[in-house]
Amino acid sequence: MENLTTNKKIGLACAIVLIISFFLPYVSAGPMSFSLMDAAELTAKVWIWPLCGAAAAFLTFKDNVRMARIAFIVSLGFWVYYNFLAEMSAGMDVFDVAGIGCYLLIASSIGGIVFSKE
Protein backbone atom coordinates (compact mmCIF):
# COMPACT_ATOMS: atom_id res chain seq x y z
CA MET A 1 0.00 0.00 0.00
CA GLU A 2 2.98 2.31 0.37
CA ASN A 3 3.51 2.56 -3.39
CA LEU A 4 -0.09 3.52 -4.21
CA THR A 5 -0.74 7.14 -5.08
CA THR A 6 -3.78 9.00 -3.82
CA ASN A 7 -5.54 8.53 -7.18
CA LYS A 8 -4.96 4.78 -7.05
CA LYS A 9 -6.26 4.58 -3.48
CA ILE A 10 -9.42 6.44 -4.50
CA GLY A 11 -9.79 4.21 -7.57
CA LEU A 12 -9.41 1.13 -5.38
CA ALA A 13 -12.04 2.49 -2.97
CA CYS A 14 -14.40 3.15 -5.89
CA ALA A 15 -13.95 -0.45 -7.07
CA ILE A 16 -14.78 -1.77 -3.60
CA VAL A 17 -17.85 0.49 -3.37
CA LEU A 18 -18.94 -0.80 -6.80
CA ILE A 19 -18.84 -4.36 -5.43
CA ILE A 20 -20.70 -3.36 -2.25
CA SER A 21 -23.44 -1.58 -4.24
CA PHE A 22 -24.41 -4.96 -5.69
CA PHE A 23 -25.73 -6.03 -2.27
CA LEU A 24 -27.47 -2.79 -1.25
CA PRO A 25 -31.06 -1.83 -2.22
CA TYR A 26 -31.00 -0.86 -5.89
CA VAL A 27 -34.72 -0.10 -6.15
CA SER A 28 -36.86 1.05 -3.23
CA ALA A 29 -40.59 1.43 -3.69
CA GLY A 30 -42.43 2.00 -0.45
CA PRO A 31 -41.74 -0.77 2.02
CA MET A 32 -40.21 -3.03 -0.65
CA SER A 33 -36.64 -2.89 -1.88
CA PHE A 34 -34.63 -5.05 -4.24
CA SER A 35 -30.89 -5.31 -4.66
CA LEU A 36 -29.01 -6.40 -7.75
CA MET A 37 -28.30 -9.61 -5.84
CA ASP A 38 -32.06 -10.27 -5.83
CA ALA A 39 -32.17 -9.57 -9.58
CA ALA A 40 -29.32 -12.03 -10.11
CA GLU A 41 -31.78 -14.83 -9.32
CA LEU A 42 -33.75 -13.83 -12.42
CA THR A 43 -30.98 -12.95 -14.88
CA ALA A 44 -27.24 -13.39 -14.98
CA LYS A 45 -26.72 -10.07 -16.75
CA VAL A 46 -26.47 -8.13 -13.49
CA TRP A 47 -23.28 -9.97 -12.52
CA ILE A 48 -21.41 -7.59 -14.82
CA TRP A 49 -21.25 -4.94 -12.06
CA PRO A 50 -19.48 -6.92 -9.32
CA LEU A 51 -17.23 -8.48 -11.95
CA CYS A 52 -16.27 -5.02 -13.24
CA GLY A 53 -15.67 -3.90 -9.65
CA ALA A 54 -13.48 -6.91 -8.89
CA ALA A 55 -11.55 -6.44 -12.14
CA ALA A 56 -11.07 -2.73 -11.45
CA ALA A 57 -9.85 -3.44 -7.90
CA PHE A 58 -7.40 -6.07 -9.10
CA LEU A 59 -6.13 -3.97 -11.99
CA THR A 60 -5.76 -0.87 -9.83
CA PHE A 61 -3.84 -2.84 -7.22
CA LYS A 62 -1.57 -4.24 -9.95
CA ASP A 63 -0.89 -0.68 -11.25
CA ASN A 64 -2.74 -1.22 -14.54
CA VAL A 65 -4.99 1.81 -14.11
CA ARG A 66 -5.68 2.17 -17.82
CA MET A 67 -7.47 -1.20 -17.90
CA ALA A 68 -9.14 -0.41 -14.56
CA ARG A 69 -10.59 2.71 -16.14
CA ILE A 70 -11.99 0.54 -18.93
CA ALA A 71 -13.66 -1.69 -16.32
CA PHE A 72 -15.31 1.37 -14.76
CA ILE A 73 -16.41 2.62 -18.21
CA VAL A 74 -17.95 -0.79 -18.98
CA SER A 75 -19.80 -0.69 -15.67
CA LEU A 76 -21.22 2.77 -16.31
CA GLY A 77 -21.96 1.92 -19.95
CA PHE A 78 -23.99 -1.13 -19.00
CA TRP A 79 -25.88 0.91 -16.41
CA VAL A 80 -26.80 3.52 -19.05
CA TYR A 81 -27.78 0.80 -21.51
CA TYR A 82 -29.99 -1.20 -19.12
CA ASN A 83 -31.69 1.86 -17.62
CA PHE A 84 -32.18 4.03 -20.70
CA LEU A 85 -31.64 2.16 -23.97
CA ALA A 86 -32.74 -1.45 -23.47
CA GLU A 87 -36.24 -2.62 -24.29
CA MET A 88 -38.59 -2.17 -21.32
CA SER A 89 -36.11 0.14 -19.56
CA ALA A 90 -37.25 2.60 -16.92
CA GLY A 91 -35.68 5.68 -18.47
CA MET A 92 -35.60 8.75 -16.25
CA ASP A 93 -38.15 7.13 -13.96
CA VAL A 94 -35.33 5.03 -12.50
CA PHE A 95 -34.42 7.96 -10.24
CA ASP A 96 -37.92 8.00 -8.74
CA VAL A 97 -37.41 4.55 -7.22
CA ALA A 98 -33.61 4.36 -7.06
CA GLY A 99 -32.10 3.11 -3.84
CA ILE A 100 -28.70 3.67 -2.30
CA GLY A 101 -27.21 0.83 -4.36
CA CYS A 102 -28.09 2.57 -7.61
CA TYR A 103 -26.59 5.87 -6.53
CA LEU A 104 -23.44 4.18 -5.22
CA LEU A 105 -23.06 2.26 -8.48
CA ILE A 106 -23.22 5.49 -10.49
CA ALA A 107 -20.95 7.45 -8.13
CA SER A 108 -18.33 4.72 -7.84
CA SER A 109 -18.23 4.20 -11.61
CA ILE A 110 -17.82 7.91 -12.31
CA GLY A 111 -15.30 8.28 -9.48
CA GLY A 112 -13.34 5.33 -10.78
CA ILE A 113 -13.23 6.82 -14.28
CA VAL A 114 -12.06 10.19 -12.96
CA PHE A 115 -9.43 8.89 -10.51
CA SER A 116 -8.03 6.01 -12.54
CA LYS A 117 -4.90 7.70 -13.69
CA GLU A 118 -1.18 7.37 -13.08
Give the total number of structural domains in the chain: 1
Mean pLDDT for the chain overall: 89
List the beta bridge partners of residue 35.
25
In a domain, 118, yes or no: no
Are 104 and 75 in contact by the 8 Å Cβ rule? The answer is no
The range of the structural domain enclosing residue 18 comes to 6-24+32-111
Q: Is the pLDDT of residue 92 over 80?
A: no
The answer on pLDDT for 111 being more than 80 is yes
Residue 1 lies inside a defined structural domain of this protein: no
Q: Does some domain include residue 49? A: yes
Is 66 inside any structural domain?
yes
User: Is the pLDDT reported for residue 113 higher than 70?
Assistant: yes
In a domain, 117, yes or no: no
86 domain residue, yes or no: yes
Asked, for residue 76, whether it belongs to a domain, the answer is yes
